[in-house]
């Protein structure tokens, strides 16, 4: 799943890449534009997080043919039913989510209008049905006939949903959900036969889901954060009265709540608290790397963790850690004349125990358009290799240029040396990157990093590229400058042996301490280890 900050509210989409890979996207409003009538900070974070969860549940459970409807009224009614259904399935799957779901319901309920203030009958009944269906209670008073109608219709839907969730095939679920949607429109008499077909009684037209519209920053209820908090408190008090003291033994009903759930809903569950703490631990940006933009998109790393690659690289590394090897460098135990003749800036030979434990390693990734055809393999190589290096305690920094789906073409940073450890979050940012930067500004990349490299003196700086920068002489000059402060190496993957050979020549001519090009991902691990194990 990819999380991409664009637009106003939350949305999701299933898409296939040109290569036929199935991708899931969650679009989220950019955090700093997400203004809610809530205390900024933790409270807002919880609603934001719930938005992501809700969309993820659509991706998991909503049948594909129900994502787009031709009829806006049917789409709105269906989405109310579906919003309830997918959230129920979500907490059945992960019961720990109950308190956070309750919190988002409390917030939504606080923002929704009181039904008795809605003059139009259809709009009033539509709103009451929405509240009853999603949150489980109606705000304000209806007369008895209307209240009974809404309650009976909701009960009918709840009965049908139980049946539908038992179906195995998506097409049966879809067919029945369509029947239920039509039936609700009929029972509640929501369609005005005299109105134009695109008009419907939900006050938040424009959004596919009138419930989701509640969480958009442009949903303006005209309430202050204090008023919203007061109403949420009222919601929790009323829910508390229905709550059980202990969870019941039999299979848990997703809508069953306990006193403990309410307590956690008021305060925030343990996971969300620690997550928020982590997310807000930010430092001021180091001016030396200010031109490098943090990657904000995330994608699933599962397809990029290559088990074989990880095993191979692990084995190669272990070999190096126990063995000794003569290496040549700028300084060393003895002057080696043959090596002096071969590469004049590394004339000394030393026998050293090779290890990457605790070494500082800077990775620079070229995600330019020319890398596009191999980008899946490059991401596999990076994510798998870093996992191994991280395990042996290398301190990794990761920079590059490419496309972040949320921000377009950028000089990006995924992790700095100052951040303590490489985590899954870093890997998922690498997974989200796309190789379609319009040019290959490798020389500029080196120049923008020179202060940082001079200061940190990484044990090794690894560039992933195909050896075709925009400005070859500039790149050569930057490499020779940086070689004073770090060991500069590079690797690439060609399309087969001939291409790899050609690439190896190009890389070599740029003047790295060492470089390698391999014909495919399979042959990379031993070469990469030889390249990376620092002197």
Report the interface residues with Zn ion, using CB under 5 A. Answer: 83, 209, 212
For the bound state, the minimum distance from the C-beta of residue 199 to Zn ion, rounded and expressed in Å, comes to 22
Residues 133 and 145: their CA atoms lie apart, in Å, by 18
User: What six digits make up the tokens of 526?
Assistant: 């031993």
Spatial CB neighbours of 254, under 8 Å, sequence gap ≥ 6: 87, 88, 89, 91, 92, 98
For the bound state, the minimum distance from the C-beta of residue 182 to Zn ion, rounded and expressed in Å, comes to 20
- Between 126 and 449, CB nearer to Zn ion: 126
- What per-residue string of b and e applies to 365-396 under the rule 16 or more CB within 10 Å gives b? bbbbbbbbebbbbbbbbbbbbbbbbbeeebbb
Tell me how far apart the terminal alpha carbons of the chain are, to the nearest angstrom. Answer: 39
For the bound state, the minimum distance from the C-beta of residue 448 to Zn ion, rounded and expressed in Å, comes to 42
- Between 11 and 528, CB nearer to Zn ion: 11
CB 503 within 8 A of CB 527: no
- Between 128 and 133, CB nearer to Zn ion: 133
For the bound state, the minimum distance from the C-beta of residue 264 to Zn ion, rounded and expressed in Å, comes to 23
| 28-33-38-40 Cα dihedral, nearest 10 degrees | 110
- Between 53 and 512, CB nearer to Zn ion: 53
For the bound state, the minimum distance from the C-beta of residue 183 to Zn ion, rounded and expressed in Å, comes to 20
For the bound state, the minimum distance from the C-beta of residue 57 to Zn ion, rounded and expressed in Å, comes to 8
Q: Kindly report the CA angle at 210 between 206 and 212, in degrees rounded to 5?
A: 100
Residue with tokens 């008499």: 189
Residue among 531, 529, 524 nearest 308 (CA): 524
Residue among 352, 354, 351, 350 nearest 317 (CA): 354
- Between 135 and 381, CB nearer to Zn ion: 135
- Between 212 and 306, CB nearer to Zn ion: 212
For the bound state, the minimum distance from the C-beta of residue 223 to Zn ion, rounded and expressed in Å, comes to 23
């Amino acid at each position: 799943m990819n999380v991409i900050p664009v637009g106003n509210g939350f949305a999701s989409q299933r898409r296939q890449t040109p290569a036929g890979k199935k991708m899931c996207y969650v679009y989220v409003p950019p955090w700093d534009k997400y203004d809610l009538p809530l205390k900024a900070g933790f409270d807002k974070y919880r609603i934001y997080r719930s938005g992501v969860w809700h969309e993820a549940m659509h991706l998991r459970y909503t049948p594909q043919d129900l994502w787009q409807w031709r009829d806006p009224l049917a789409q709105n009614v269906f989405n109310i039913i579906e919003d309830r259904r997918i959230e129920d399935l979500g907490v059945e799957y992960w019961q720990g989510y109950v308190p956070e779901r309750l919190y988002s319901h409390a917030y939504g309920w606080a923002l929704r209008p009181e039904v008795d203030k809605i003059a139009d009958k259809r709009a009033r009944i539509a709103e009451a049905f929405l509240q009853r269906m999603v949150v489980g209670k109606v705000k304000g008073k209806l007369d008895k006939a209307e209240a009974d109608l809404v309650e009976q219709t909701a009960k009918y839907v709840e009965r049908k949903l139980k049946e539908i969730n038992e179906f195995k095939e998506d097409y049966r679920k879809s067919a029945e959900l369509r029947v239920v949607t039509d039936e609700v429109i009929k029972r509640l008499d929501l369609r005005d036969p005299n109105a134009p077909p695109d008009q419907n009684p939900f006050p938040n037209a424009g959004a596919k889901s009138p419930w989701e519209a509640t969480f958009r920053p442009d949903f303006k209820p005209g309430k202050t954060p204090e008023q919203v908090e007061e109403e949420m408190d009222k919601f929790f008090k009323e829910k508390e009265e229905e709550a059980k003291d202990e969870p019941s033994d039999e299979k848990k009903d997703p809508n069953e709540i306990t006193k403990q759930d309410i307590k956690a809903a008021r305060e925030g569950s343990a996971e969300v608290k620690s997550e928020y703490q982590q997310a807000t631990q930010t430092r001021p940006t180091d001016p030396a790397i200010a031109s490098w933009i943090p990657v904000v998109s995330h994608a699933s790393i599962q397809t990029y963790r290559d088990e074989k690659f990880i095993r191979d690289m692990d084995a190669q590394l272990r070999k190096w850690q126990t063995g000794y090897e003569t290496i040549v460098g700028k300084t060393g135990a003895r002057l080696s004349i043959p090596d002096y003749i071969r590469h004049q800036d590394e004339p000394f030979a030393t026998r050293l125990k090779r290890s990457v434990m605790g070494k500082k390693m800077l990775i620079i990734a070229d995600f330019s358009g020319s890398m596009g055809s191999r980008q899946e393999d490059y991401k596999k190589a990076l994510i798998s290799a870093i996992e191994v290096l991280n395990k042996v305690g290398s301190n990794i920094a990761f920079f590059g240029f490419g496309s972040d789906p949320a921000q377009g073409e950028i000089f990006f940073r995924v992790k700095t040396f100052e951040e303590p450890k490489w985590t899954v979050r870093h890997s998922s940012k690498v997974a989200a990157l796309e190789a379609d930067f319009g040019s290959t500004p490798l020389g500029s990349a080196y120049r923008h990093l020179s202060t940082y490299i001079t200061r940190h003196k990484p044990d090794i700086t690894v560039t992933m590229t195909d050896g075709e920068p925009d400005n070859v002489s500039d790149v050569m000059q930057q490499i020779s400058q940086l070689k004073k402060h770090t060991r500069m190496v590079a690797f690439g993957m060609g399309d087969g042996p001939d291409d790899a050979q050609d690439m190896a020549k190009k890389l070599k001519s740029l003047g790295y301490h060492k470089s390698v090009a391999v014909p495919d991902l399979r042959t990379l691990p031993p070469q990469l280890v030889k390249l990376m194990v620092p002197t």
